[in-house]
Structure 1
Amino acid sequence: AIWRDDVDTVRRIVTENPKLLHENALVRNSNWGPPLSYAANLGRDEIIKLLYKFGAMDLEHAMGRALLQSKVETAAILHELLGSPLPPAGSLGGPAYTLSTQGTAFALRVGAPVRDEDGQRLAPVDVVLETDSRNPKAKHEILEMYVAHGLELPDTPTMALHRGRIDLLEKHLRRDPRLLERTFTHEEIYPPEMGCHDEVQATQGTPLKGTTLLHLCADYDEIEIARWLLEKGMDVNARAVIDADGFGGHTALFATVVSQPNFWMNYQNRPQRAPFTQLLLDHGADPNLRASLRKQLHPGYGPKYDVTKTYEYRDVTALSWGQQFHAQVFVSESAMKLIEERGGRE
């Protein structure tokens, strides 16, 4: 009834079964919280008001769900029902995960802090960088909102990329003419001082540890920055660092075949497109360079996909990397087709 926004049926059900106000809604094996929180997740404002009158108390959790889903008007109603308090610590986390600019802006507007009284970071920069969501424009805007509200971000090339700031990348390139040749450690890409975690927790497709700015662009769908890098003379076949076990050496082309943007393209049945692969091939990417990679998926992808094992792929091309990858939802068929058309082999 909540899904259908059927206020009358919700009223009848709750009148007959008031205990349901405090039972969690289980949908497709996921816990969506009590009915009021579930209604907030969907933006069912009239039902929220009704459930509140009947005694529903999960307003704070519901407000978090509304912000998570960019239901700003719903969040405003809940905030008023709560008595318009300052948002609790962690209120920026939901919209950070979904890269909701509207949710982030609302939370900041009603007083969500980016730092505590001692100046320590509260803004969930780690969530913005590590989320499985991909929306470059939204990510840039959220990070800039944090800065505008007093958060200081690291002055690094990788953070400039995360922020979508080509102007800052220009400054880094002037300071370091060899910037386009550099590779970056996991910690440089995901700074621990911003709360970031290990390689498994940082959601990505093709591994990013020890890679270049061009590799990062591929997994974060930063095609405009990639174009800028290539215009500045970046080697389209620049390889990742090879570690002590012999893993690495892959180019950015590999990261267009197995990537987080590909996951969403396939999961949501979007049209098959591979503009990043096309860009790299048009700039001379070698489709037959070989590398060795290993990959363990983020635990959030279980149980549908194996998240317990680290899979190893030795001496693969970009094409065979995609063909062999153990979770095909991350693989772009259109990318592999383009690579085959350019002479790519297994």
Structure 2
Amino acid sequence: MTPHFSDLLVAFETHSVARIRAILDAGFDLSVVIDGKAPINYLIEMYFRSDRFPECLRLLLERGAILDDPKIEAILLDDPIALDAAVARDPSLLAHRTSMRCAFTPLIGATLLHVAAEYGHLKVAQRLLELGVNVDDSAAVDAFGLNGHTPLFHTVNANGNRSLPVMRLLLDAGASPTILLPGITWGQGFDWETTCLDVTPISYAQLGLLPQMHRTELDTYANIKLLLRAAGRVVPALPNVPNRYLGER
């Protein structure tokens, strides 16, 4: 393994800007390709989500790293000012589609709003809506008729419930909580890949209870309640959350 790369992965996994900077200062070459991927893609594909991600990414870009799709830079940086500047240069950017490996809900044939929703980037999500993007645009459908999800699906069972503010934003903007899809391949290409069949945003939220998804019961059912209310449905009492049986094991 390239010297310092294992240390860099740990820094990526924790979004430690200081550790990343120290490794780069020690001479790590961001242009090196490791197992077919540039180091910047290891950061982007990492399952951890936090407010420190944009700062980590910005540091890599400042040190010469290059995105596979530079058109999504402002989205990944959660930078609405940069987004405005990019749209001013190229108004067609608002219709741009991107494909990138994602640890959770797929980002294949995804809009900028899908990317913002996946990373929990509220500022650019809000700006995209202000600029007129369709809150219910669909991602690409695969050869089996799976995926084709709207940005809302990225928010309903996000890691650490990070995308809750974006979920609220999308629902307030009229995102449909009742869209039914044949299925979504969650974690595609990773060891935790799971094909989820016959999903709505509500049922997809509840799938956060699967052991491979590592979502908490309290977050899961809080999101379900929000989605049910948005759908105009009665919210049941749910008296056994968290589940007493599971708590006894």
Partner of 1:335 in structure 2?
223
Whether the 8 Å CA contact 2:75–2:83 is kept in 1: the answer is yes
Secondary structure class of the residue paired with 1:257:
coil
Counterpart check, 1:288 vs 2:178: yes
Partner of 1:220 in structure 2?
119
Deviation per CA, 1:309-340, whole angstroms, max 9, x where unpaired? 642413x3211222356726347322221111
Q: Assess, with a 3 A threshold, how the Cα gap between structure 1 residues 154 and 123 changes in structure 2: closer, same or farther.
A: closer
Q: Give the whole-Å Cα distance in 2 for the aligned partners of 1:101 and 1:111.
A: 16
Task: Note the C-alpha offset of 1:95.
Answer: 0.8
Superposed, which structure 2 residues align to 1:65-104 within 5 Å? 88-90=3-5, 91-104=7-20
Unaligned 5+ runs, structure 2:
234-249
Q: Give the whole-Å Cα distance in 1 for the aligned partners of 2:188 and 2:195.
A: 13
Partner of 1:160 in structure 2?
74
Superposed, which structure 2 residues align to 1:17-166 within 5 Å? 88-90=3-5, 91-115=7-31, 124-136=39-51, 138-154=52-68, 156-166=70-80
Q: What amino acid is aligned across from residue 93 of structure 2 in structure 1?
A: L
Secondary structure class of the residue paired with 2:155:
helix
Partner of 2:130 in structure 1?
231
Q: Give the whole-Å Cα distance in 2 for the aligned partners of 1:89 and 1:254.
A: 36
Q: Give the whole-Å Cα distance in 1 for the aligned partners of 2:88 and 2:182.
A: 33
Q: Give the whole-Å Cα distance in 1 for the aligned partners of 2:187 and 2:120.
A: 19
Equivalent residue pairs, number: 225
Secondary structure class of the residue paired with 1:313:
strand
Q: Give the whole-Å Cα distance in 2 for the aligned partners of 1:212 and 1:299.
A: 20
- Greater Rg over alpha carbons, structure: 1
Superposed, which structure 2 residues align to 1:291-330 within 5 Å? 291-297=181-187, 307=192, 310-314=194-198, 316-324=199-207, 327=210, 329-330=214-215
Root-mean-square deviation (CA), in Å?
3.2
Task: Note the C-alpha offset of 1:123.
Answer: 6.5
In the superposition, the TM-score normalised over structure 2's length comes to: 0.75
- Partner of residue 203 from structure 1, selected from 99, 103, 107: 103
Q: Assess, with a 3 A threshold, how the Cα gap between structure 1 residues 184 and 298 changes in structure 2: closer, same or farther.
A: closer
Task: Note the C-alpha offset of 1:216.
Answer: 1.4
Identity of aligned residues (%): 30
Task: Note the C-alpha offset of 1:150.
Answer: 3.2
Deviation per CA, 1:44-73, whole angstroms, max 9, x where unpaired? xxxxxxxxxxxxxxxxxxxxxxxxxxxxxx
Unaligned 5+ runs, structure 1:
1-86, 191-198, 266-272, 302-306
Runs of 4+ in structure 1 displaced over 4 angstroms?
Answer: 298-301
Superposed, which structure 2 residues align to 1:175-194 within 5 Å? 175-185=89-99, 190=100
Q: Assess, with a 3 A threshold, how the Cα gap between structure 1 residues 332 and 326 changes in structure 2: closer, same or farther.
A: closer
Q: What amino acid is aligned across from residue 157 of structure 2 in structure 1?
A: V
Whether the 8 Å CA contact 2:205–2:223 is kept in 1: the answer is no
Q: Give the whole-Å Cα distance in 2 for the aligned partners of 1:228 and 1:279.
A: 11
| Structure possessing the higher relative contact order (Cα contacts under 8 Å, 6 or more residues apart) | 2
